[in-house]
C-alpha cells in the first residue's frame, strides 16, 4: 500500500495573512486569495489526472494547528486514509482527531515525534474511484 503520494499543502502562521498574500502575489507572482493559492500538476501515476498543492497563510493565533505550537503545518496526500490510519494506530502514532469527510475529501491530523501536526488528505477523486 502506498502511504504518502504527494505534497498536498503548506500552511503557515503569520502576523497578517492578507498582507502576506499580497506580498507573495506582488513579488513572487502567486495568484493568491483569502485561501492562499493552489498549484495544479499532473499526477505521475495517473498522467490524465490533475493533482494540486495548496499554499496558505493563517493568522498567528489560529487554533487549526493545535496541539502543535509550531508556526507551520504540512499536508500530505494519501491514497487510502482509513487503511493508513489503522496502520498508524498499530505503530502508536498519535492521531489527533477522527477522519473527517468534506467536499474536498477525507482529512485527519497526526503528530510526528517532535510534536509537528501533519494533515493527511485523501482527495475526493481517490475516494470515488473504483
pTM of structure: 0.88
CA distance 89 to 68: 19
Each residue of 71-130: pLDDT tens digit? 999 999 999 999 999 999 999 999 999 999 999 999 999 999 999 999 999 998 754 443
Each residue of 16-35: pLDDT tens digit? 999 999 999 999 999 999 89
- Return the pLDDT at 2: 79
Q: Each residue of 13-47: b (16+ CB within 10 Å) or e?
A: bbeebeebbeebeeeeebebeeebbeeeeeeeeee
- Return the pLDDT at 41: 92
Question: Domains in the chain, please, with CATH?
Answer: 4-127 (3.10.180.10)
Each residue of 8-19: pLDDT tens digit? 999 999 999 999
Amino acid at each position: 500500500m502506498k502511504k504518502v503520494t504527494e505534497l498536498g499543502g503548506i500552511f503557515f502562521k503569520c502576523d497578517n495573512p492578507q498582507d502576506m498574500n499580497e506580498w507573495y502575489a506582488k513579488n513572487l507572482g502567486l495568484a493568491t486569495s483569502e485561501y492562499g493559492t493552489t498549484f495544479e500538476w499532473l499526477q505521475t501515476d495517473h498522467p490524465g489526472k490533475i493533482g494540486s498543492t495548496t499554499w496558505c497563510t493563517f493568522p498567528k493565533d489560529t487554533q487549526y494547528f493545535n496541539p502543535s505550537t509550531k508556526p507551520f503545518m504540512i499536508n500530505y496526500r494519501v491514497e487510502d486514509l482509513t487503511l493508513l490510519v489503522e496502520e498508524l494506530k498499530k505503530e502508536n502514532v498519535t492521531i489527533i482527531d477522527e477522519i473527517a469527510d468534506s467536499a474536498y475529501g477525507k482529512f485527519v491530523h497526526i503528530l510526528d515525534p517532535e510534536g509537528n501536526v501533519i494533515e493527511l488528505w485523501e482527495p475526493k477523486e481517490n475516494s470515488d474511484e473504483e
